[in-house]
Amino acid sequence: MSQQSVTLETLQQLQKHVPSIVKAVNANPSLALAAAVNPLFALEELDYQIPSSLRRTVEHRIRFSEEQCSHLEKLSAEIHRELGHHFDIESETELSQALHKALKSGEAKRLPAQLTLRPQMKWVERQEDPLEHLRDAHPVMKALLEYRRIEASEPRLGSRELYDQVRSGAQPVPAKAITFKLKRGPTPQ
């Protein structure tokens, strides 16, 4: 672990630290296994702090291609602009509140109780988005449905509980060790 906490305010700062992060993770097999569940929690354990304003961007960079990240950012901006305020699109509670305000009362009553769209992996039966029936209810819906389709196309990062269980060895995993390698690519914008 590092001697002092490092707050990472930009993707460029994070990128500069990646070699030392990979080295520290690889030096600790249980940390490496837990990092596979959720790399953000491993960063925190190594005393790297990612502000909430950057957290979603880093998570998306972990899960998606650069092109998908860019598209998600554009869709997010369109959704916030269309609804007139910023909120966490991936929070079921905040999304429900935003849609209740935006939709006409009759359409808002048609909002399902459960808005979550589970990951749509190749090996899982596809689920129709619970909001699909509202596609034409408001101009924001097209962008929102596209955002949700992309967001559900890749596995989500594991919960804190699962991370802690893997880290402590209480949750068995199908691997005994994981080693991370650096891959050189384009510099984040």
Look at residue 187 and tell me whether its pLDDT is greater than 60: no
Q: Please report which helix (H) or strand (E) contains residue 52, including its range.
A: helix 52-63
What whole-number distance in Å separates Cα of residue 91 and Cα of residue 117? 11
Q: Which amino acid is at 2?
A: S
Q: Virtual CA dihedral for 168, 33, 5, 9, nearest 10 degrees? A: -140
- Kindly list the domain boundaries of the chain, sorted by start residue: 6-64+158-168, 66-151
Secondary structure (3-state) at 181:
coil
pLDDT tens per residue across span 11-50: 899 989 999 999 999 999 999 999 999 999 999 999 999 9
Higher pLDDT, 130 or 172: 130
Distance, CA of 50 to chain centre: 13
What whole-number distance in Å separates Cα of residue 165 and Cα of residue 38? 12
Whether 143 contacts 78, CB under 8 Å = yes
Question: What integer pLDDT is reported at residue 185 of this predicted model?
Answer: 62
> Which class is domain 66-151?
mainly alpha
- Read off the pLDDT of each residue in 152-177 and give the average, rounded to a whole number: 91
Distance, CA of 3 to chain centre: 28
% of residues, the chain, pLDDT over 70: 95
Which residues have a Cβ under 8 Å from the Cβ of 41 and sit 6 or more positions away?
Answer: 34, 35, 160, 163
pLDDT tens per residue across span 81-120: 999 999 999 999 999 999 999 998 888 898 999 998 888 8
- Read off the pLDDT of each residue in 73-84 and give the average, rounded to a whole number: 97
The pTM of this model reads 0.83
